[in-house]
């Protein structure tokens, strides 16, 4: 699969979200970080903002739920217009049921792992998912330094995906930039979230193109 770049609006101006979405036209998905101040120590936005954003842009939305009780909330983000919904396995009560529900409602189902959560216990769940997200920072804030110690986990996950012959996207999120994206791609990631590296650039759309070119080597 060609490399995908998903700009994270966490690094955008929240008072101008529609314009900020337009500024990265050409991106594969817009990454929307939902935080509840319980699962992570930060608070961002919820269902009504996602509903409005889905109407304001043609770019599909990739909602990353950093919240407690995703079993209750994730389906509502599909109804709000998200094309892909990611829940954290550390917060989900019933990840298989939840992934099936997200798919049944018509979105791509994705599961995220915090840095200290291993992939191995979840090998048998992979066929239930359309994407797996490996966090390369502790979730909660943009602009943090990329954790190089996550590269072996990315590599092992890519091996599991190949071993099972799955069509599963492998996303990385946190500290992805011109300085780190090549290492992620080499380890086997194919979907790259970038917040500060895109919205901190003078020309966000050009930053998306440059990151994609770098990831594709």
Contact residues toward ligand DX5 (CB under 6 A) are 8, 10-11, 31, 33, 64, 137, 139-144, 173-176, 193-197
Compute the distance between CA of residue 50 and CA of residue 58 in angstroms, rounded to an integer: 13
Rounded to whole angstroms, what are the CA distances from 13 to 19, 182, 201? Answer: 9, 28, 13
CA 195/CA 141 separation, integer angstroms: 10
CA atoms within 13 A on the CB side of 66: 26
173 lies in the binding site for Zn ion (CB under 5 A): yes
Q: Is 33 a catalytic residue?
A: yes
Q: Is 26 annotated as a binding residue?
A: no
- 192 has binding-site annotation: no
What is the Cα–Cα distance from 64 to 71, expressed in whole angstroms?
Answer: 14
Residue 140 interacting entry, from Zn ion, ligand DX5, none, C-beta within 5 to 8 Å by type: ligand DX5
Catalytic residue among 28, 62, 173, 190: 173
| Terminal Cα distance for the chain, rounded | 13
Is residue 28 part of the annotated active site? The answer reads no
The option from ligand DX5, Zn ion, none interacting with 176 (CB < 5 to 8 A, set by class) reads ligand DX5
Binding at 11: pick from ligand DX5, Zn ion, none (beta carbon under 5-8 Å per type): ligand DX5
Q: Which two tokens stand for residue 76?
A: 């509502």
Q: Which residue is nearest to Zn ion (CB)?
A: 64
Among 40, 59, 35, 10, residue whose Cα is nearest residue 176: 10
Q: Which residues bind Zn ion (CB under 5 A)?
A: 33, 64, 173
Mark the binding-site residues for a divalent metal cation, compressed into ranges.
31, 33, 64, 173
Which amino acids are annotated catalytic? 33, 173
Mark the binding-site residues, compressed into ranges.
8, 31, 33, 64, 140-143, 173-175, 195-196
């Amino acid at each position: 699969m060609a490399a995908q770049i998903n700009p994270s609006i966490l690094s955008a101006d929240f008072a101008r979200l529609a314009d900020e979405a337009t500024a990265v036209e050409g991106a594969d998905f817009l990454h929307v970080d939902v935080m509840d101040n319980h699962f992570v120590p930060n608070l961002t936005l919820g269902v009504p903002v996602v509903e409005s954003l889905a109407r304001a842009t043609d770019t599909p939305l990739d909602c990353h739920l950093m919240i407690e009780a995703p079993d209750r909330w994730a389906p509502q983000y599909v109804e709000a217009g998200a094309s892909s919904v990611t829940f954290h396995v550390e917060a989900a009560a019933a990840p298989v049921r939840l992934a099936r529900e997200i798919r049944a409602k018509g979105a791509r189902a994705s599961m995220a792992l915090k840095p200290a959560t291993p992939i191995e216990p979840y090998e048998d769940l992979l066929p239930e998912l359309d994407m797996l997200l490996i966090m390369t920072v502790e979730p909660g804030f943009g602009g943090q330094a990329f954790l190089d110690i996550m590269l072996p986990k990315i590599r092992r996950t890519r091996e599991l995906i190949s071993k099972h012959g799955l069509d599963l996207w492998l996303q990385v999120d946190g500290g992805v930039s011109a300085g780190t994206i090549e290492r992620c791609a080499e380890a086997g990631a194919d979907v790259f979230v970038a917040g500060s590296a895109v919205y901190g650039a003078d020309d966000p759309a050009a930053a998306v193109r440059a990151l994609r070119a770098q990831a594709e080597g």
